[in-house]
Amino acid sequence: MKLFGSGHGACPGCGLPIAVKNVLEGVGPCFVANSTGCLEIISSQYGKSAWGVPYIHSVFENAAAVAAGIEVALKALRRTDEGPIVVFAGDGATADIGIGPLSGMFDRGHNVLYVCLDNEAYQNTGNQQSGLTPSGCYTTTTPAGKIMAGKQGQKKDMVAFALAHKLPYVATASVAFPRDIKRKAKRAIEFKGPKYIQIHSPCVTGWGLNGKQAIPVARLAVETGLYPLVEYENGELVRVKKVKERKPVEEYLKQQKRFRHLFKHPKGHEVVEELQKIADGNALKFGLDI
């Protein structure tokens, strides 16, 4: 039986199903806990479940706590051989609303793989700013007006947050590289304890793309250095996706409606420069350039 099926309600071109099916293929049969968000809406309507694995949705903030409960219950029932536990949560559920239960789950050391599907805003309710929204991005709660040019402040560094909890495995991935997602998910469950993978996934409606642009834009995020694909094992950086001839960030920004004000706004130039600095900083920190 397939682990994730056709007929779900995702927008044409959405990155979430690509991420989910490749994580599930990497992990194999498992238990899934899901927080509120796009993925829950598209895949778990009553009588239209797209899941071929045991799946539970509770509330917005507690997916990590629910997964911790499943893990302990399986241990008590001596059924730990039935498969690993995977959490799928959006960026808002990970970085803002569910960050408390997530930290608690990391702290208690439950044997859970936590997958953050990062589409860089609350896209389910129509593009509101989250902790993982990049600077300068237009959302309905950080509109581009006369004074501000989109979101103030930077994208939250959730990889550093996970590393600060001394996790055995932390990685970032992108839906533009699904084989990489599959390999990382497979590698993650070899470790005991909490694991964290953050997957960059374009949102066609929120980012202002058509379906065909989604994968090329996700690829550009990696190629510009704004979304470095890194892999930490036991706190040490073990693998990085190198980028040949790193592209300027404008190329990535220009294709998306959520950044188009940056090229007209009086402060837009500053924001683009700041984003380029972030990309250059990533390249230096992780050694992205060949």
Q: Does 75 bind another protein (CB under 8 A)?
A: no
Nearer to another protein, 179 or 264 (CB): 179
CA-based nearest residue to 258, from 157, 159, 131, 119: 119
Which two tokens mark 88? 């799928």
Residue 253 near residue 226, CB atoms below 8 Å: no
Which two tokens mark 200? 């960059």
Pick from 109, 193, 216, 248 the residue near another protein by CB under 8 A.
216
Which two tokens mark 106? 């990391």
Residue 233 near residue 168, CB atoms below 8 Å: yes
Nearer to another protein, 160 or 210 (CB): 210
Window of 45-53, 75-83, 189-197, 225-233 that interacts with another protein by CB under 8 A: 45-53
Overall size of the chain counted in residues: 290
Window of 30-38, 80-88, 214-222, 274-282 that interacts with another protein by CB under 8 A: 214-222
Q: Does 51 bind another protein (CB under 8 A)?
A: yes
Give the E-state strand segments of the chain in sequence order.
31-34, 55-57, 85-90, 112-118, 169-174, 195-200, 230-233, 236-240
Q: Does 212 bind another protein (CB under 8 A)?
A: yes
Give the x/- contact pattern for another protein in 182-211, rule: CB under 8 A.
Answer: ----------------------------xx
**Minimal distance in Å, beta carbon 215 to another protein?**
6
**Minimal distance in Å, beta carbon 216 to another protein?**
6
- Tally of CB atoms within 10 A around 3: 18
Q: What residues make contact with another protein under the rule CB under 8 A? A: 1-2, 4-10, 12-18, 21-22, 43-44, 46-53, 178-179, 210-212, 214-216
